[in-house]
A and B are shown apart, each in its own frame.
Chain A
Amino acid sequence: TQLLEQSPQFLSIQEGENLTVYCNSSSVFSSLQWYRQEPGEGPVLLVTVVTGGEVKKLKRLTFQFGDARKDSSLHITAAQPGDTGLYLCAGEPYDYKLSFGAGTTVTVRA
C-alpha cells in the first residue's frame, strides 16, 4: 500500500488544455514536494508546500496543499509540449525517507 495515492497515472492532452494531478494520503505530512522527471534523468524539484491551505504558483503551474496537510494538487494551465514528463509527489512521513506517489505520466501533444 502506497502512503501517497497519486492520480491519474497517465494523462494525455492537447497543447493549450489544462490538467490537474492529485496526491492524496490518510497521513498528515509536514510538507509535500512535487517533482518532474524527464526520461533518462533524475527528478527535479518543482515546489515544496508546507502550510495547510497554501497555494504556490510557478508560471503556469499552481500547487495547492490541503488544509489538513493530507493532500495536494498540481494544476497546469495551457499546457505545452515542454510540460511532458513524469510528475511525482513526495513527502517525508518519518526518518527523512521520502515516500513517493506512483507518479503521473503527462503527455502534451502539439
Chain B
Amino acid sequence: GAVVSQHPSRVICKSGTSVKIECRSLDFQATTMFWYRQFPKQSLMLMATSNEGSKATYEQGVEKDKFLINHASLTLSTLTVTSAHPEDSSFYICSAHFGGEAFFGQGTRLTVV
C-alpha cells in the first residue's frame, strides 16, 4: 500500500512559539492532503484540506491564521501551529488518498508547555 510519512512524531514547545509538522507521500503524488486533530480516546476531527498549489480549505471553527497550511509540492504538505498555547496540545494526523483509499501518517503528538 501507499505510504504517508509524518514528522516529527513528538514535539514539545514553549507557549508562544510556532511548530511545523510535515506530511509526505512517499511513493505517490497527492494533490490533496487532509489534516486532522484528535483528542484522547476520541475520533479524528478534520481541520482542513490541503490543496497543492492553492489555498487550503478549512473546516468551520478552525482558525486559518492559527493553523497555517502549505502544500508546496505534490508530495509535501506542512501544518504550522502558530503562537502555540497549551490548549493546542493534541495529536495531529495527516492523510492522503491513493487508489480510492485513505492512508494516514503516524501522527504528531504536540505538547505545548
Contacts and interface: CB of A to CB of B under 8 A. Distances in A.
A88 B41 contact: no
A83 to B, nearest CB: 16
Contact of B43 (A33, A88, A95): A88
B34 interface: yes
Interface residues of A, number: 21
B56 interface: no
Interface string B33-74: 010000001111010010000000000000000000000000
A98 B109 contact: no
A105 B43 CA distance: 10
A97 B106 CA distance: 19
B102 A42 contact: no
Contacts of A43: 44, 93, 104
Interface of B: 1, 4, 6, 9, 32, 34, 41-44, 46, 49, 91, 93, 95, 97, 100-107, 109
23 contacts: A33-B102, A40-B91, A40-B107, A41-B106, A41-B107, A42-B4, A42-B6, A42-B93, A42-B95, A42-B104, A42-B106, A43-B93, A45-B1, A48-B101, A90-B102, A96-B97, A97-B34, A98-B102, A100-B43, A101-B43, A102-B42, A103-B42, A103-B43
